[in-house]
Structure 1
C-alpha cells in the first residue's frame, strides 16, 4: 500500500488530497524562487574565490569595464566634430538692413564709412559667426574642429578660424580705418547687425556622436561554453573580476528573455515537483501513519516551504550569505516530534530544493546535509535543554570542518584561506539555539508534544498530580506503578518510554471525582454495596469521561487525553457485568451499560498502557505471589485483551506483546518478592 496502490485501496479523495498537497507546495516554492540568482555570486576583487570551480555554461562576451569604455570614448570624442549649418542669407539680410538704417549717413563721418562698415560686416559673416556660448565652449580646446555644412558640402574648420558675435563686433574696432572713430561708431549699435550665421545642426551632430559611441566595442573577448572561468581559492584579480562580472551580466540578460524565462520556469517546476512527489511517496510507503495525520503533513510541508521562502528572501535582498540560515532546525524539529529517517528525508528534500536557487549548490548541499545528519545523531532523545546547546555547537563545528575540507582541497597555500564564510557559520550556530522556542511554537501550532514537555508534565509537583496524591492516594500510587511497568515495556520494544510514563500518570485522573468508589482508595467501606450493578458500572466507567473533562480544563495535550480515553478501550467492567449476568440469567443484558466509551488503543504506547494498567490492578488481588501465579495472571489478562480485539487498530506486533508479557512478569516478581523474616532476639 502506498501512493500508487495496486490493490485499489487508495480512494479518489485521498489521491486528490495528495495531488493538491503536491501542487500547492510546488506552486508556492516556484513562486518564491527568484527569477535571477546572481546576488549569491559575490565578487570580491583581491580575495580568494570562496565558491566551487566555476565553468561557463554558455558562450558569453567579456564586457569592458565602465572605466575602460569611458577612456576609449574620451579618446574618440577628440575626433568628434559637431555640425553647424551655414546660413547664406543672413549676411545679405543684415548688411542691407544696416545700409537702409544709415542711408542718411553716420553723423560726424563721411558717406564712405557706410561702405567700409558694410564690407567689414560681410568679411565677418564670410568667416563664420557662432553663438557666443558655443564658441567659448569649443574654443577651450584649440584643436577642436567643427564641420560647416554649406548646401551639399561639409567642410571641417578649426574653431579658432571662426568667431563669435561678440568677437566679430570687437573685430570692427580693431580695423585701422574704424578704430579712430570708436566712440562715434559705438553709438550706432553695430552689434544689432551681427547675428550668428552658423546654426548648430542637432540631428547631424547626434547621428555623428552615435556613430562614434557605437563604434566602441563593449567586449574585449569571448568565454566559450565549458571553459573554466575561475577555480575555488584562486585570487580574484582585475581580469577575473571582469570575466565574472561579464558572466553575471550575461546571466541577467538571458534571464529577461521570454524564451529563457519560460524554459527556466518549466525546468524549475519539474525539479521541485520531482522532489516533492518523491517525498510524498516516501510518506505514503514508509510513514503512512504520519501521512494520515493532518498535523504531521502540515508541519513537514510547512518546514520545507518556510525555508524555501527564507532562502529566496535572503537571495533577493542580498541580506547575507545563505549559510546564515539554520537549515538544521528542520532536522531538529522533525526528529524531536517524529523519527530519524523522516527527519533526514525532510531535511534533505528541503536542502535540494533550496539548492536550485544558488549558483554553486554542490558545497551547500554537502555542508547542510552533514549538518542535518549531525543534528539528528545528537538528538536521539531530547530530555534536557542543554542538549540543544550541545547540538548547536556540534553542528557548527562539523559544518565548519566540512567547509574547511573543501577550502583545503582547492587552495595552494594557507594564505589563500578565506575566513569570511566561517563567520556566517558561527552566526548559524547561534541561530540554532532558537530551536528551543520554535519547538514550543510547533507544539502549539501542530498539536505535537516533545520529551521536554512530557518531562515537565510528569513532575509530581504539578497541580493536578499533587491534587491526585492528596485526594486519591491509592490511585496515585497505582498510576506510578503502571508508569514504571509501561516504561520498562516501551524500552524493551523500542516505543517512547517517556510518553507512556507520562500518559500513565494522568490516565486515571478522573477517579478524583469519586475516589472512594475505587478499590485502591477504600479503607474498609465499600460504597458499591448500596448500588446496583448497573449504577456501579456507570460510576466506574465515568472516571474516563470525567478524566477527559479534567484534562480539557487543565489544557493537557491531545496525546495525553488519548491515553485517558483508550486505557480501557471498548472493554467492559467485567466484575459488575459478570455479577449482573450471574444473578439475572434470564434477563437480557444491555452490554453498552457495562462498556467503556473507548476508543481502543491506536498507538503502541496506548496498547502498552492498557496491558500494564490491567495487569498491575489485577496483581493486587492475587492470593499468593509465586512465579506461576504471576505468569498465569499476565498471560490470561493479556491474551484476553488480544482475543477481545483491543489491539486490532494499533501497530503493535505479537513479538511486542510477547516481550511485554515477559517484562511484566519479571517486574511483578521483583515487586512482590518474598522478604526474609527477621528473627527475634532471645533473652
Structure 2
C-alpha cells in the first residue's frame, strides 16, 4: 500500500511540475509579446493587394511618411532665425576698463591713440560681436538671419553684418590709423577688450523652434467613411501605401482600449498555450526519457522560450532586424545533446512562437525552418570545430538561397530584388559561431556532456588516464580493450559510441588505489589469496567507491561517474562469495559484504559496458581459445546477466543483446586467433 502511495505521489508530482512549467513558459512569453491591435496586412509598393476589397469604416487622416515630415521640419530649421539678446552693458564695461588701463596713453606711440581705439571698439560693439563658436555654426550661409532683441524690439539681421570675436579683433587692425602701428598695438593685448555682446537666447530660440516644428501637419488629406481604399489585385503605389499605413495606424489607435488589449492578450495566451502543450505532449509520448529528467526538460523549455522573448523585445523597441538572431543554435544544441527528431520538433515549435510576433510570417517561417533542417542534417555528431564552421556556412548559404527563391517566386527580377536582408543573414551566421563556447555553458548549466567534451576526456594523455597507465598498466590495457569492444557494439546497435568509449576508459580508475590486488596488474603472486574472503571481497568492491572519489576530485561529468557506478551493478564478487559459501556451508552469510554498492545499468551504453567488461575480463581465463569456447563463454555470461535482472530497468532490447554477443564473439576470435607455426630451416 505504501509503495502504491509513493508511486502515485511521484506521478502527481511530475504532472503538477510539468503543468507549472507550461504555465510559466506561457506567462513569460505572453508578457513580452507586443500588444499590436487591429488587422495586420502584408503589402509592398509595386505589388498587388492580396486581400479582399478594403473599405474605410471611419474617417481618418492620410499621414505623411516620416521622411516627408522630417524634410519639412529640416526646411523650417534651415530658415529659422535664432534669438540673440543685445547687451549694452558689455560695451560700457569694456570701454571703461580700456580707458582706465591706458589713461597714460599707448606705450611707444605719440598722440591720443587711446581715444581712437576706444572709438573703434565702440563701432565694433555697435555692429555686434558674437562668440566665435556661435558665429561659425551659422555663418556657413551668409544669407542666414538672426533675430536681435534690443530691449523690447526684435529685428531680423543677416549674419554677415556681425563680427565674431576673432573677426572683431582683426577688423580693429584693418583701420587706416591703427594698421601702421599693428606690431606695437599687438603688445597691448587688445583682444582682452573684445567680448561678445550678442548673447544667444537658448530658451526662447528652442521654444520658438519647437512651436514651429509642432505646427508641421502630420497628415495631408482625409479618407471618408465608406470610401474604397483598395481592391483585390490593384497595385499598391506610394499614395495607396500611405493610405494603408494610415488606416492601420488609426485602427490601432482607436482599438487601444482596455477591452481590445484584453482580447489581444487572450488570443496570445491561447495560441502560445496550444503550441507549448503540443510540444509537451510530444515529449511525454515519444521522448519520455527526456520528459522524466528535470535537467533535460528545463533546457528544452529555456531554449524554445528565450528566442520568442528576444524577438518580442526587438520588435517592440525597433532594434535592428530579427533575422540577425541565430535561431539555428537551438537545433544545434538539441541535436548535440539529444537527438535529431527532438531538435526538429523544438525548432519548429520555437519558430511558430516567434512567427506570432513578426509581420512577415510566411517568409520568416520558410527561411528559419530551412536553416534549422540544414543545421540538423549537417551536424549529426559534433566532434571537431571544423564541423561547426561547415554547418554555419551551409546555414548561411541556405538562408540566402531560400530568401532569393521567395523573391523570384514573387515575379521579381534580380535587378528588383531587396538585398537588405542578406546582410542580416550573414550576421546571423557569424553569431552562430558562438555555439561552440556557449556549448560549455549549456553543459555546466544543465549537466549535459557533449561529444567534444567526451573526446577531450578520452585523450589518454590526460592526467587521470596517464596516471592509470603508469600505476596500473594492466588495468589501463583492460580499459582500452573494453572501450574498443563497447564502442563497436554501440556502433552496431545505434547507441552513443563516443560516450561508452569514454566511460569504459574511466570505469576502473578506482583500481589505482590498490593496483596489486587486481589480477591484470599481478605478476605471479596474488596477495588476495592470503586474506579472509570477506576482506578480499571488500578490497575488490572498493574500486567502485574509490573510482567515484577520483571522479569527484577530477571533476568528471556525471555521465562518466554513472559508468563507474553501474559497470558491476549491484552484483556480487562471485569468486569470493562462492568460495566463502563453500568454506562455510552451514553459516549465515552477510551478503552485503560481497555485493557491489552500485546500481544496475539504466542506459543502453551502461549495459554495453557491463557486457564488454565482463567478457573481456573472463576471456583471459579461458584454457584454450577456440570458436566454440569463446562462443560458449560469451553466451553463458551475458545470458546469466540477463537472467539475474541486470538489464531489467535498461532500454536495451533482446535484438541489441544478440548483436552485442555476435560482436564480442567475432572480436575475441580475431584477438585470440591461433597463429600458424613457422617451420625451421633444416641443416645439411
Query: TM-score if structure 2 supplies the norm length?
Result: 0.73
What RMSD in Å do the two structures reach over aligned CA positions? Answer: 3.1
Alignment of 1:121-270 (within 5 A): 218-219=222-223, 227-228=231-232, 237-270=237-270
- CA–CA distance in 2 between the matches of 1:226 and 1:599? 72
What's the counterpart of residue 356 of structure 1? 356
The answer as to whether partners of 1:229 and 1:243 remain within 8 angstroms in 2 is no
What's the counterpart of residue 337 of structure 2? 337
The answer as to whether partners of 1:54 and 1:230 remain within 8 angstroms in 2 is no
Q: Secondary structure at the match of 2:467?
A: helix
The answer as to whether partners of 2:344 and 2:376 remain within 8 angstroms in 1 is yes
Alignment of 1:97-112 (within 5 A): none
How far off is 1:279 after superposition?
A: 0.5
- CA–CA distance in 2 between the matches of 1:671 and 1:273? 58
Residue correspondences, number: 530
Q: Secondary structure at the match of 1:267?
A: helix
Asked which structure has the greater CA Rg, the reply is 1
- CA–CA distance in 2 between the matches of 1:429 and 1:295? 28
What's the counterpart of residue 283 of structure 1? 283
How far off is 1:315 after superposition?
A: 0.9
The answer as to whether partners of 1:399 and 1:425 remain within 8 angstroms in 2 is yes
Alignment of 1:403-552 (within 5 A): 403-552=403-552
Q: Secondary structure at the match of 1:64?
A: strand
- CA–CA distance in 1 between the matches of 2:222 and 2:49? 28
Cα distance change on mapping 1:29 and 1:69 into 2, 3 Å: closer
Cα distance change on mapping 1:254 and 1:487 into 2, 3 Å: farther
The answer as to whether partners of 2:311 and 2:354 remain within 8 angstroms in 1 is yes
How far off is 1:217 after superposition?
A: 6.2
Cα distance change on mapping 1:471 and 1:608 into 2, 3 Å: same
What's the counterpart of residue 63 of structure 1? 61
Q: Secondary structure at the match of 1:63?
A: strand
Cα distance change on mapping 1:358 and 1:534 into 2, 3 Å: same
How far off is 1:322 after superposition?
A: 1.0
Q: Give per-residue Cα distances to partners, 1:429-468, cap 9 Å, x unaligned.
A: 1111111111111001000011111000000000000000
Unaligned runs of 5+ in 2: 1-6, 71-152, 155-216
Q: Return 10-19 or 466-475, whichever deviates more.
A: 10-19
Q: Secondary structure at the match of 1:415?
A: coil
Q: Secondary structure at the match of 1:681?
A: coil
The answer as to whether partners of 1:487 and 1:501 remain within 8 angstroms in 2 is yes
Alignment of 1:50-89 (within 5 A): 59=56, 63-66=61-64
Q: Secondary structure at the match of 1:417?
A: coil
Query: TM-score if structure 1 supplies the norm length?
Result: 0.73
Cα distance change on mapping 1:438 and 1:57 into 2, 3 Å: farther
What's the counterpart of residue 91 of structure 1? none
Cα distance change on mapping 1:251 and 1:491 into 2, 3 Å: farther
Cα distance change on mapping 1:62 and 1:9 into 2, 3 Å: same
Point out which structure has higher relative CO (alpha carbons under 8 A, 6+ apart).
1
What's the counterpart of residue 650 of structure 2? 650
- CA–CA distance in 1 between the matches of 2:351 and 2:629? 57
What's the counterpart of residue 610 of structure 1? 610
What's the counterpart of residue 168 of structure 2? none
The answer as to whether partners of 1:303 and 1:330 remain within 8 angstroms in 2 is yes
Q: Give per-residue Cα distances to partners, 1:257-292, cap 9 Å, x unaligned.
A: 222111111111110000100100110111001011
Q: Secondary structure at the match of 1:243?
A: helix
- CA–CA distance in 1 between the matches of 2:234 and 2:315? 22
The answer as to whether partners of 1:538 and 1:594 remain within 8 angstroms in 2 is yes
Q: Give per-residue Cα distances to partners, 1:164-192, cap 9 Å, x unaligned.
A: xxxxxxxxxxxxxxxxxxxxxxxxxxxxx
Cα distance change on mapping 1:53 and 1:671 into 2, 3 Å: farther
- CA–CA distance in 2 between the matches of 1:229 and 1:569? 72
Cα distance change on mapping 1:631 and 1:387 into 2, 3 Å: same
- CA–CA distance in 2 between the matches of 1:422 and 1:326? 14
How far off is 1:469 after superposition?
A: 0.3
- CA–CA distance in 2 between the matches of 1:341 and 1:230? 44
Q: Secondary structure at the match of 1:525?
A: coil
Q: Secondary structure at the match of 1:17?
A: helix
How far off is 1:10 after superposition?
A: 8.2
- CA–CA distance in 2 between the matches of 1:55 and 1:428? 36
Q: Secondary structure at the match of 1:589?
A: coil
Cα distance change on mapping 1:318 and 1:269 into 2, 3 Å: same
How far off is 1:218 after superposition?
A: 3.6
